[in-house]
Each structure stands twice: as C-alpha cells, then as structure tokens.
Amino acid sequence: MASSTALYSILGCAALQTVASVTVPSQRLNDGTYLPMASLGTGWNNTETEADIKLALQAGFRSIDTAWDYGDQVGVGKGVQDAIASGMTRDELYVISKVPACLTPDTDKLCAKQTLNHHATNLKELGLDFVNLLLVHYSPLGGCKNCDPIKAQWGAMEQLLAENKTRTIGVSNYCKECIECLADAKVQPAVNQFEYHVGMGPDPEGLVSYCKSKGIVTQAYSPLGPTANHTAKDILIEGNLTTGIGKHYNKSGAQVALRWVAQNEAALITKAAELAYLTEDVSIFDFALDAADVAALNSATEPHAKPCLFCTSQ
C-alpha cells in the first residue's frame, strides 16, 4: 500500500483538506484555487438534500454540487447555513452550482442576460453571496459549430467572476468542439464536469487527455455508473471485477471504482443518503491501485457511456 505522500503525488494534489478522520485531497486549478477531489452530489428534493448534507459533512465531505435546475438549492443553502451555525466557516465549505446552456444557436443576444439572471436565482435560493465554482451545465442543444452563443454565455460567466459572485468558472458536458469555442477567452475554463467511470476507458473520446492538455481539471459525475441505469451501477458496486480487486486492499467494489477515477486525476461527485455509504465513498484516499489492477479496470467495457450530453468529440 502506498504512503500518504505517494498518494498525493499520484493525484497531483497540492493542498489537503482534513476533515474528521478523513483527509480529502484538493487539486490545484488553473486559476490558483483548489477543487476538493470528492464532492457530494445532490438533486430534486430540498428536505432530503438538507439531511444528506448533514450526513455528508459528518462523513468528511466539505464540497457540495448542485445546479439551477436540480430543484434543491434551497435545501443546499439550509444545509450550508446549518453547518455554519454549528461552528463551521464558509471558507471550509465548497459550493458548486450551474447555469443552463443557451438552448439553441440563435439565442446569443439573450444568452448573457439569461445567464446572469439564472445565477442571481442560484444565489438567492442558496442564500449565499458567492459560489466557489460555477459551471455552464451543458452545451447548446444545437451543437457547437456556431460558437456565438457559447462565447456570449462565457462573457457573462467572466462578468460573474469579476463581480465575485463565483470564485471559479468552468463547464460541464463540454466536448472538444465546444471547448475550442473558448480558445480566445480571457478566462479559460478551470473544470469540465462530465460522466466518467470504469467501463468508459481511461480517456473516453480523448476528452480527459484533451482537458489535461488545456489545463482543465476533469470532474466526474456518475462515477459509479449511469444514474438511470441501476444494472450498470451494480456492475461497479457488486461486480466481480471491482469486488475482486477490492479484496486486495480491504475495500469495497464501489471504493475501487471511485479510486480508479481519482487515480486518473479526476475529482468526483458521489451521492448517497446513508452515513455508512458516504463515509465509504470519501475513504478512498488512503490506498493506491497497483498497475495490474489499473490495467484491468482500464480494459473494462461495461458499463459503457458517452462522457457528454448533447456533444460528442470526434
């Protein structure tokens, strides 16, 4: 088993966040800020989200992922305020939110205004003055051959950054073609959040390596398999490959799958509603997969998925 120092070297992490009995690495972004390597995923129910945040903080998470269209930002805000009331500081908490993309290629005149309005709603629902990371949630439905709406929206994101309404800006579900639209932007995306898990290969559609070449950190959603496909999730949580490897390290199949993501230098977002599972999910930074196990996981072809909604890298 690798030492702690070796593990942080593997992850390329320059800062550490110590929480409870768990040490969660943070990866340095291209703007000099730091992104926690593990975040709590949320969605759809304010009451449940508030409760999930309380458990996640107890387990060791300090980063929370939400979005304008998740319908749970009021619950996220209450969870954050509860934590602060219990003695934590805002600086100890990392909040990620998102704004919708421009829906069609001909909306660039409205896109900037819509983006500013959407984030105003984010902050109002969250009850916060700023988020730590704000993402464009997905690419335009019309594709990225017309860069105008993407550039218009990104200009609004840069404005929000300048106004200190977010500390960092990035994208989500952006393939290479969409990222290229921002090549001349004053501020480059710091993060690209997309689906990434065992079964997709270590570099699906070349997107992980492409982002790395641009100084963009990958953040993986659905790191245990597609959310809507329970059979796919079972492959990584209970399947022979991950559980068999887990026996080498006294870890679960889920921990092996999550560790593979982290060991590929991607931050991850994971969701659970039980303290035991949350603690398990965040307890993946005290071991390293050896080369043979990494190779076996790299070769897995199930559960298969594409990394981005609406956008495919060629």
Catalytically active residues, by annotation:
70
CB of 280 closer than 8 Å to CB of 242: no
Distance CA 136, CA 153 (A): 8
The distance of Cα 256 from the centroid of its chain, to the nearest Å, equals 18
DSSP state letter for 239: -
Tokens, residue 108: 């660039």
List the alpha helices (DSSP H) in 1-136: 4-11, 46-59, 73-85, 108-126
Q: Quick one: angle between helices 108-126 and 73-85, nearest 10? A: 40
Q: Which residues pair with 104 in a beta bridge?
A: none
User: How many other CB atoms are there within 10 angstroms of residue 311's CB atom?
Assistant: 24
